[in-house]
Amino acid sequence: MKINNIETLLIKAPVKKPFKTSLRTVFEVEDVVVKMTTDDGYIGYGEAAETAVITGDIKGSVIDAIERYIKPTIMGMDILDFDNLMLKLDKCILHNSSAKAACDIAIYDILGQYYKTPLYRYLGGYRNSIKTDITISLNDVETMVNDTLDAIQEGFDTFKIKVGGNYKKDIERVKAIRDAAGKDAKIRLDANQGWNAKEAIYVINKLSDYDIELVEQPVIAHDIDGLKMVTDNVPIPVMADESLFSPQDALMIISKRAADILNIKLMKCGGIHNALKINAMAEAAGIECMIGSMMECKVSVTAAAHFAAACHNITKYDLDAAYLLKDDPVIGGVIYNGPEISFSDGTGLCIKGIKS
């Protein structure tokens, strides 16, 4: 089962409404899709998201990394020579986690097909559906409240509220959303590095009466000591996101107890192979994980969902990215029913192709 071709193509999808965080505003998703074929006829799909402000990856760099470094390195390798293949993929170029993730996902897609099973069963098969939260973009208070109420009408009961602008205004946002959503709604906050440590401690303690489930990445990514300072001084669980890319990052965060929860994203860690390593370390340390995504189309979101469904230590799901698109060009993959994400009975990722 040797790799005999790796193609790259661009896909575009507009979002239903602008996606806003403290770092960026997204009007359209434009990602790189990998189509990998083997000499015995298997076709696997992967996807790399352009997220310059988080991973540093842009379309041109992703394509260049694949065409100039990854493809020449792994072409002709047998997918069943798996550990060697993944080692070569990881070592052929430094960083470039999204490009590596796209190829990693395509390899796992082929493995699921080869073993004639949906990927989540091949990886562990713990559950056969998951339930995602939905993101409420950073806007004025009234818009965020209305977006939350709209999401409730669509069946969602868990909300990831984007904060991290003016921290005093953030308090107003959260209070208004809690009042509008009611006491039974689950509210998560995502600051996207938007506060410093002291601001974060102040804001999170002010919001402790509003039944907040967790606060994601309150401080800038490299400030692990600041992240720990926040974690140690607030009553609400703190989750690392942008601070966590590699298994080595996970080891550092876990050893310092700098966060209570880890957010694993395939685009940050380089794909499913490293995601499994991070989750295993977290589980050994008694730390639960969330599966998250960038703004992505359905190939990589499908891969993330299969990984999450396979592992019991993945207890929280933030995979609304494909749901937020106006028209996803990917045929097949996961099935959305409001917040419920389920899988078809096909093999691998069950991606049937890309609309032209």
- Active-site residue flag, 71: no
97 alpha carbon, distance to own chain's centre: 13
Q: Residue 323 has which token pair?
A: 């749901």
Edge-to-edge strands, sheet with 43-48: 3-20, 25-38, 43-48
- Active-site residue flag, 316: no
User: Taking CA 252 as the corner, what is the angle to CA 250 and CA 257, rounded to the nearest 5 degrees?
Assistant: 95
Q: Which residues fall within 8 angstroms of residue 81, CB to CB, at 6 or more apart?
A: none
Single-letter amino acid code for the residue at 1: M
Single-letter amino acid code for the residue at 172: E
**Distance between CA atoms of residues 182 and 256, nearest Å:** 36
The single residue of 35, 100, 228, 265 carrying the catalytic annotation is 265
- Residue 270: φ, ψ to 5°: 95, 10
**Distance between CA atoms of residues 64 and 73, nearest Å:** 13
Q: Which residues fall within 8 angstroms of residue 214, CB to CB, at 6 or more apart?
A: 188, 189, 236, 237, 238, 239, 260, 261, 316
User: Taking CA 203 as the corner, what is the angle to CA 314 and CA 160, rounded to the nearest 5 degrees?
Assistant: 35
The single residue of 20, 162, 228, 298 carrying the catalytic annotation is 162
In DSSP terms, 188 is beta-bridged to 160, 214
Exposure of 131 by Cβ count < 10 A (0-12 exposed, 13-18 middle, 19+ buried)? middle
Cβ pair 90, 270 in contact under 8 A:
yes
Catalytic residues: 162, 265
